[in-house]
Amino acid sequence: MFDFSGLSTAVITGEEDVVLDLTQKAISAKVDPLSIINDGLIAGMNVVGARFKVNDMYVPEVLMSAAAMKAGVALVKPLLTSGETTTKGTVVIGTVTGDLHDIGKSLVGMMLECSGYAVIDLGVDVSGDDFVAAVKANNAGIVALSCMLTTTMLQMKTTIEVLAANGLRKDVKVIIGGAPITQEFADNIGSDGYATDAAGAVDLVTKLLN
């Protein structure tokens, strides 16, 4: 049984070289690629996310951890996609108009990709019209909206209204997330669901697309 604790710890401490070394060792030991990602890399990143929430870690440290995790994922990814020509579905993700936060969004996008979804990441400060264009261009089944500021929360409602005005609302599920978001808010603006963390977002996407 491979000991994932060292890999998780290396992600938490942002030691990219150690992450690459331990990931390679896990691959050589024929450890299941999804286990490497979920039990090693993502498990570490979940700790980072929790510590970031309570100000026990700060943005530069989180970015180092995310970079270390990405490096590990990049090693494992070819093993996941070999022979898999189809994806489970397409997700368009972005941070809404007026909001420039992207750590949480990027983490959700990475985890969705690791779980077999095609992810179109539109970045930050994304307008409703840009979401509409991306949904049409990529035939997406899910739109994932992120925000970190209470002042930009209502942009999520606006984006859902723009999707509806363009006749897309019946064909696409909208999920939302971010620090100020609650289940009550998600229900009030007519979204299809809300997740408190990246792992929950993957579960929600899977549920909605099945």
SS3 of 53-66? HCCCCCHHHHHHHH
pTM (2 d.p.): 0.71
For residues 173-192, average pLDDT: 96
Q: Is the pLDDT of residue 185 over 50?
A: yes
Q: Check whether residue 184 and residue 98 sit in a common domain.
A: yes
What integer pLDDT is reported at residue 8 of this predicted model?
Answer: 97
What integer pLDDT is reported at residue 81 of this predicted model?
Answer: 59
Domain coverage including residue 48: 5-81
Q: Check whether residue 20 and residue 119 sit in a common domain.
A: no
User: In this predicted model, what pLDDT tens digit does every residue of 117-137 receive, in sequence order?
Assistant: 899 999 999 999 999 999 999
Q: Is the pLDDT of residue 65 over 50?
A: yes
Q: Check whether residue 9 and residue 113 sit in a common domain.
A: no
What integer pLDDT is reported at residue 84 of this predicted model?
Answer: 46
User: In this predicted model, what pLDDT tens digit does every residue of 89-120 receive, in sequence order?
Assistant: 999 999 999 999 888 898 888 778 767 789 99
User: In this predicted model, what pLDDT tens digit does every residue of 154-173 receive, in sequence order?
Assistant: 999 999 999 999 999 999 99
Q: Check whether residue 65 and residue 142 sit in a common domain.
A: no
Can you give the CATH number for the domain in which 19 is found?
A: 1.10.1240.10
Q: Check whether residue 141 and residue 199 sit in a common domain.
A: yes
- The residues near 210 (Cβ < 8 Å, ≥ 6 apart) are none
Domain boundary among 55, 81, 107: 81
Q: Check whether residue 102 and residue 165 sit in a common domain.
A: yes
Q: How many domains does the chain have?
A: 2
Q: Return the higher-pLDDT residue of 6 and 49.
A: 6
Q: Check whether residue 162 and residue 108 sit in a common domain.
A: yes
What integer pLDDT is reported at residue 208 of this predicted model?
Answer: 96
Write the burial class of residue 192 (CB in 10 Å: 0-12 exposed, 13-18 middle, 19+ buried).
middle
Q: Check whether residue 185 and residue 161 sit in a common domain.
A: yes
Q: Check whether residue 125 and residue 183 sit in a common domain.
A: yes
Distance of CA 200 to the CA centre of its chain: 9
Can you give the CATH number for the domain in which 110 is found?
A: 3.40.50.280
What integer pLDDT is reported at residue 82 of this predicted model?
Answer: 52
What integer pLDDT is reported at residue 167 of this predicted model?
Answer: 97
